[in-house]
Amino acid sequence: MIKKVNTPKLVDNFSMLFYKHEYEILEIAGILSGLLIIFVTNKFFFLSSIYYLLVIFGVVVCSLGFLLEYVIKYTKRKSIELEFGYFLQDLARELKATKNIAIALTNLSNNNTYGTIDSEIRRLATRSSWGDDFYDALLSINQEIKSPIIYHTLVLLDTFKTSDVPLNRVLLNISKDISIYKEENLKKKYFKNLYYLAIVFFIIFLFVLVYFDVLIGRNFLWYSNTDLVTRLFIDNFLLYIGLLLSFFTAFVMHSIKGGKSINFLKYIGVFFIVVIILFQVFIPKPTAADVLVETINHMETNGVNNTTIERVISLESISSKYISDEVGIGDIYFIAGDDRDCKFDCAKYTIIVNDATFYNFNIIKEGDSYIIYYYMVIEL
């Protein structure tokens, strides 16, 4: 009678060693391959036009092992979500028939019916055949995959470890519980996605507001005593919309995530800060010189000879040459309001500003020149 010979233990040891360190082997192989490409590139292609392309390719190959590890683990986690419940059902039936967990796992591993996780089932069968407890073997496998389904299974197995319920009955009940767990997990993922989707929509809509402000704001004057809509009105109006959006987004996120009311206030605070920072960074701020330039351009376009603008802040000295160059017209003179009667005899070409100061301006066109009367606003 011919006796069936089992796979040599040395081969099993090698297989287990490979399975245990397969991802490390993959990463090391990728790094060594990438370094080899970079070495060959430096040795033979240093002056070549494709040198940098080859170096980038070498770096990509270095990271390829890590990328493949992520893809493999992600694929296995997805397969476990789909197949692990059916595997436990089959294992429960096989265990009931064979009365031995190692034999039951070996029989199932020979079927190759569970897709991507067949290799993990073979690892379970090998470890169990060596005498490892099913719980310990499953825990060892999940240290690499980090599947929430297996973790949930391990928690339930640990709970029933000291009970008198047969293991096959425990596995069958866990397989049923997994379907409920998956439904609850899907709900959690759905609300989690809504949570992050609210943040994404908030950021997108906020940048649209900023872009819209920059795009249409240039069509309005910064200051005007006659026009209802000014650039400052547009800026403030869109800023208030952004703050209102912050409140609404914070309310949605708090409704999804729940928790204490203080969390709602935290969300509002963070979003308010983000809105204000974005508007401060990306929305252009008016300088007195630029306000005068656009006001004179507006007067030229609309045939206005006299206009007044009030409470314009100036942070630096104002040069008539700068305004004249920007507008492209004749001379521009500054005259203090108190010296209005002496006209050109008191004219200046620069208003010296040492500290932030508010001014009222009365701009009058005389021929091809402009006279700008300025009045310093005294804050009480």
Considering the domain architecture, whether residues 263 and 349 belong to the same structural domain is answered as: no
pLDDT band at residue 17 under the 50/70/90 scheme? low
Q: Is residue 175 part of a domain?
A: no
Does the pLDDT at position 366 exceed 70? yes
Contact 336, 347 (CB under 8 A): no
Query: By mean pLDDT, which of 89-93, 129-133, 264-268 is the weakest?
Result: 129-133
Q: Is residue 138 part of a domain?
A: yes
The two tokens of residue 317 are 């000295």
- C-alpha torsion angle, residues 245, 250, 253, 259 (rounded to 10): -170
Considering the domain architecture, whether residues 244 and 127 belong to the same structural domain is answered as: no
Considering the domain architecture, whether residues 310 and 252 belong to the same structural domain is answered as: no
Query: By mean pLDDT, which of 78-87, 331-340, 356-365 is the weakest?
Result: 78-87
Contact 246, 264 (CB under 8 A): no
Q: Is residue 367 part of a domain?
A: yes
DSSP label at residue 161: T
**What element of type H or E holds 31?**
helix 22-44
Q: Is residue 178 part of a domain?
A: no
Task: Give the pLDDT score at 24.
Answer: 77
From 229, 262, 282, give the residue that closes a domain. Answer: 282
Q: What residues does 308 pair with on adjacent strands? A: 362
Q: Is residue 181 part of a domain?
A: no
Q: Is residue 179 part of a domain?
A: no
Q: What residues does 359 pair with on adjacent strands? A: 312, 376
The proportion of the chain whose per-residue pLDDT surpasses 70, expressed as a percent, equals 90
**Separation CA 367–CA 360 (nearest Å):** 23
Q: Which amino acid is at 160?
A: F
The two tokens of residue 311 are 């409470």
Considering the domain architecture, whether residues 50 and 129 belong to the same structural domain is answered as: yes
What Cα–Cα distance (Å) separates residue 296 from each residue in 144, 217, 299, 332? 70, 17, 5, 10
Three-state secondary structure call for residue 308: strand
Task: Give the pLDDT score at 13.
Answer: 54
Q: Where are the beta strands (DSSP E) in the chain?
A: 306-314, 318-319, 332-336, 350-351, 357-366, 369-376
pLDDT band at residue 99 under the 50/70/90 scheme? confident
Task: Give the pLDDT score at 15.
Answer: 56
The two tokens of residue 60 are 């990509």
Considering the domain architecture, whether residues 208 and 261 belong to the same structural domain is answered as: yes
Query: By mean pLDDT, which of 33-42, 72-81, 312-321 is the weakest?
Result: 72-81
**Separation CA 218–CA 28 (nearest Å):** 57
Question: What's the N-to-C CA distance of the chain in angstroms?
Answer: 114
Task: Give the pLDDT score at 21.
Answer: 67
Which tens digits make up the pLDDT trace of 327-350? 887 788 888 888 877 777 788 888
On the 0-12 / 13-18 / 19+ scale of CB atoms within 10 A, 10 is: exposed
Considering the domain architecture, whether residues 159 and 33 belong to the same structural domain is answered as: yes
Considering the domain architecture, whether residues 263 and 303 belong to the same structural domain is answered as: no
Considering the domain architecture, whether residues 71 and 112 belong to the same structural domain is answered as: yes
Q: Which amino acid is at 270?
A: V
**Separation CA 123–CA 242 (nearest Å):** 55
From 248, 282, 316, give the residue that closes a domain. Answer: 282
**Separation CA 269–CA 250 (nearest Å):** 9
**Separation CA 55–CA 37 (nearest Å):** 8
Considering the domain architecture, whether residues 296 and 258 belong to the same structural domain is answered as: no
Contact 152, 181 (CB under 8 A): yes
The two tokens of residue 179 are 């379907």
Of 68-82, 151-165, 242-256, highest mean pLDDT: 242-256
Q: Is residue 63 part of a domain?
A: yes
Transcribe 88-131 into DSSP letters: HHHHHHHHHHHS-HHHHHHHHHTT--SGGGHHHHHHHHHHHHTT
Name the pairing type of β-strands 369-376 and 332-336. parallel
Q: Is residue 177 part of a domain?
A: no
How many distinct structural domains can be found in the chain?
Answer: 3
Task: Give the pLDDT score at 68.
Answer: 83
What Cα–Cα distance (Å) separates residue 183 from each residue in 149, 180, 186, 340? 12, 5, 5, 81
Cβ contacts of 319 within 8 Å, gap of 6 or more: 289, 349, 350
Considering the domain architecture, whether residues 157 and 46 belong to the same structural domain is answered as: yes
Contact 238, 212 (CB under 8 A): yes
Considering the domain architecture, whether residues 26 and 156 belong to the same structural domain is answered as: yes
Considering the domain architecture, whether residues 125 and 201 belong to the same structural domain is answered as: no
Name the pairing type of β-strands 332-336 and 350-351. unpaired
Maximum pairwise Cα distance, the chain: 130
- Domain span at residue 196 reads 189-282
From 128, 163, 198, give the residue that closes a domain. Answer: 163
